[in-house]
Amino acid sequence: MTQQTLSAATVQVPSVMRSTALLDPRTKLLALFLINTIAYGTGSLLAQFLAAVAVALLLATLRDRKPLAIYAITYAVSTALYLALPHLITGWLPALLVAVGFWVARFAITIGYFAYFLLSTGPSELTAALATLRVPRLISVPLAVVLRFVPTVIDELRAIVDAMRLRGLASSASALALHPISTTQHVLLPLLASTSRIADELSASALIRGLGRPERPTTVVRLRFGLADAGMLVFLGVLVAVSVMNVGVSWSFR
């Protein structure tokens, strides 16, 4: 291999590994903190709606639209229970449904944004972002491992369920719920064995990558702020201002 070929390969690697996500991981981390704080805070109803709309727009940027559909339906139904049901029916059952809708709406915002963060951020991107922020490796390495571990476990669970369907052991999700002992035997036990194997493989991969060394590792991921990040920062500023000033109807459960 000539020197020109080596130089070309060296130049092409960063462009291939470059992040193509809409937002910089550092912006996502800031949004993760602020959106979750507002979702579980005592802010105004307007702030809650703005946070919910922001999560929906972020989920809409993903290729897979299934998370967006699940989030939109869950948030819409739970918010309708909380806001509309008290004006239609009274009694202990409606009060219980109102309480459930109140908390499910808040959990939906948190889980929806976490799903976006998980599906749009790679472990290398997160590690590079935390390294630029000077976050201790005691925190950054476990977070990167979680980003690798969770999708792998989900894939393993899908493979186990598909295998059960092929063998006629599970025709639907309701069949799994109606037979907990069989589910434990055919799903949980293989899943626990798979997660143990996955953990060993991730540990070996981490050692090969040199994550146990005291030096800070280098990365080929290029992080840079763009117009989308600037717009997100402006939106987060407006969101915080609306929440602090308590603009709009107060969203509180009493």
pLDDT-derived band at 136 (thresholds 50, 70, 90) equals confident
- Beta strands, E only, 16-99: none
Longest dimension (CA), the chain: 81
Which pLDDT value is given to residue 212?
63
Tell me the torsion sign for CA atoms 26, 31, 37, 43.
positive
Give percent of the chain with pLDDT exceeding 70.
80
| Cβ atoms < 10 Å from Cβ of 219 | 16
Per the structure block, which two tokens stand in for 127?
Answer: 């590690």
pLDDT value at position 2?
A: 42
Residue 161 pLDDT > 90: no
Q: What pLDDT digit, counting tens, does each position of 91-101 carry?
A: 788 788 888 88
pLDDT at 42: 60
Q: What is the pLDDT of residue 60?
A: 92
On the question of pLDDT at 70 being above 80, the answer is yes
